[in-house]
Structure 1
C-alpha cells in the first residue's frame, strides 16, 4: 500500500538508504536470545518471548533489559542493573548474531535492482557499526551496500540527520536527492530532519501500524520498492 504524495524532484545522483533491523532483516530472535542469556546467567531463565516481545527488541538492548527486569522485579527497574548487563548482552549477541536472523522476502533482489537502475545504496542503522558489519558479513550481503553508518560511527545517531547524510555521501550519492527506507518512528523523524522522503515497511515489527507516522509511502513487499522509489525521487 502506498499513498499519493507528490513526487519530490531534486538534482544529483539518486540515493536509497536502508535501516537494517526490522527493515532489511528480522533480527529480533537473536536480539531477544542475547537478552535472555543475561537473565539466564542471573538465574531468571528466559524472561523475554521472541514473539510477544519482538517490537521491544527493535528498540535496542537497554529496552529489552528494562522490560525483562521489570518482569522479574515486579515492575521495579534499577538503571544500574541495565548498565551492568548491557555489555554482557552485546557479547552474547556478537557470539550468536545470525542464528535466527532472516532477511525479509525480496529484500536483496530489490537492492540489486536499485543498483542496476543507477541508484546509490547504503545503510544507516542504530546498531553499533561493528555489530552491523559483522551481521552483514555473516549474511553475505555486506558487499551489496556502498556505505554503512552505525550508531557509533558519528558522535550522533538517528533521528539526528547527520548519519543519514553521511550514509548518502558515503554511498556516492546526493543527500538532497535521497530517501530513507525504515520501519520505526526514529526512521520517520530522521527523514523529516534531513528533509527527504521516508518509506516505512508494513511487514516490520509494528506491521501496518506504522501508517500512523504518515510516511511518504508504505511498503507491503520489497517487490514494490522500485515503483515507490521512482515515484518519490525519480
Structure 2
C-alpha cells in the first residue's frame, strides 16, 4: 500500500470563508438582524463551521440561543449550496502540491467536517475532485473528526497505508484527529488562524505549499 496524505478542506485546500459567511448572514438577514458577521474579521470562525458562525453572530444580539442555531443551521446549508463557490478560491500551490504527491506515488484523499454532499459539490465545481481518491465528509460515517476513524477511512478509501499516513489541516480539530489516530499532522499557517495554529504543537507547520514535499518525505517517507 502507498503512503497517504489526507487533507482537510476548509482553510487548508481552499479559503471558503467568504461563501460561508455569506450563508450565515443570509440567515441573520432572514431574522431581520442584518449582516452580523464580517468576511475579514470573522474568517477564522467561518472555517470552524456553520454552527460556530451562527453562535458567534447570535452572541452579538439579544434573545437568540442554541435553539435558534439549530433552527437556522439547515437554512445556512441550503443558502451555502446555492452559492458555494462565489468567493471560494484554492490556496496558492495547493493543487500543484497534490499533483507532486500523486506523481511521487502517494495516495491522496480528503477528510473534512463539511457535509459530504457539499464537499463533493465544491470540489467538483472547482474542477479538482478527480485528484483525490477519497472524500470523507462530516456525515459519511457515524463519526467525524477528531474521531480517528474519520482519518483512517479516508486513508483506506484512497488505497493508502494508515501506518504511513499524515493529515494536513489548519485547526485544533485536525491536530486532535491526528493525535487520536497516532499519525503526524502538518498544519498550514497561511489561513486566518496563524497564531492559534502555531500554538498547537503539530509535528510540522508550513507557510506555503512549496514546503509540503520535504515535510511529507521527512515524516512518512
Query: In which range does the TM-score fall when normalised by the shorter chain?
Result: over 0.9
Tell which deviates more after alignment, 76-85 or 217-226: 76-85
Residues 134/98 of structure 1: CA separation in 2 closer, same or farther (3 Å cut): same
Structure 2: distance between partners of 1:173 and 1:125: 17
Q: Give the equivalent residue in structure 2 for 1:139.
A: 126
For residues 194 and 127 of structure 2, the distance between their equivalents in structure 1, rounded to whole angstroms, comes to: 26
Distance 1:118 1:208 in 2: 33
Match of 2:56 in 1: 67
| TM-score, normalised via structure 1 length | 0.92
Match of 1:48? Answer: 37
Pairing 1:160–2:147 present: yes
Higher relative contact order at CA 8 Å, sep ≥6: structure 1 or structure 2?
1
The reply on whether 1:20 has 2:13 as its aligned counterpart is: no
Alignment of 1:24-173 (within 5 A): 24-73=13-62, 77-173=64-160
Q: Distance in 2 between matches of 1:17 and 1:59?
A: 18
For residues 134 and 43 of structure 1, what CA distance do their matches in structure 2 show? 30
Asked whether 1:222 is paired with 2:214, we answer: no
Rounded Cα–Cα distance in structure 2 between residues aligned with 1:228 and 1:121: 15
Aligned-pair CA distance for 1:208:
4.3
Instruction: Please report the TM-score for the alignment, with normalisation by the length of structure 2.
Output: 0.98
Q: For 1:180-199, what per-residue CA distance to the aligned partner results, in whole angstroms no more than 9, with x for missing partners?
A: 00000000010011110100
* Runs of 5+ consecutive residues of structure 1 not aligned to the other structure: 1-11
RMSD over aligned CA atoms reads 0.9
Q: Identify the residue that residue 163 of structure 2 maps to in structure 1.
A: 176
Distance in 1, Cα, partners of 2:101 & 2:195: 24
Per-residue CA deviation, residues 88-138 of structure 1 (Å, 9 max, x unaligned), is: 000000000000001000000000000000000000000000000000011
Offset, 1:43:
1.2
Cα gap change, 1:114 to 1:208, in 2 (>3 Å): farther
How many residue pairs align between the two structures?
Answer: 221
Task: Quote how far apart the aligned CAs of 1:225 are.
Answer: 0.6
